[in-house]
Amino acid sequence: MGVRPSKPCAWPGCRALVSGGSHCQLHAPMAAERRSQQLKRAHKQYNTRRDDSDGFYKTERWRKFRAVYLKRHPLCCECEAAGRVTAAVIVDHIKPYKTHPELGLSWDNVRALCRPCHNRIGAKVGLTGA
């Protein structure tokens, strides 16, 4: 297999040739800093657009409810049904809190899940970005 040819540094106006990266040694730290600043702005912008319903999960009532529920249901219900033993780390709303806020603290509307099961179920329902 051949070696890839060098390419110009991606920094505007720089003509240095690089291989195995996108910036030369001089511009790599500046590019990393610029990327870091872009990510900070993007995260700040995202957090200002988050729904007010996300605030529910920061309330003392939810934290206490979640702790008691996980204490009483320590295993993932999906894994248990499949014959596996996995610790639950997430209390998931069966009917989403965003559409059914009245069921936010209802024992009948929640289930204990491990993170992989929660991500898989969320992806099926269309609630995750995956």
Using one digit for the tens of pLDDT, what is the confidence trace for 8-53? 999 999 999 998 889 999 999 999 999 999 999 888 877 776 766 6
3-state helix, strand, coil split of the chain in percent (to 5) is 50, 10, 40
Using one digit for the tens of pLDDT, what is the confidence trace for 71-124? 999 999 999 999 999 999 999 999 988 888 899 999 999 999 999 999 998 766
Distance of CA 26 to the CA centre of its chain: 33
Q: Which amino acid, 85?
A: V
pTM: 0.59
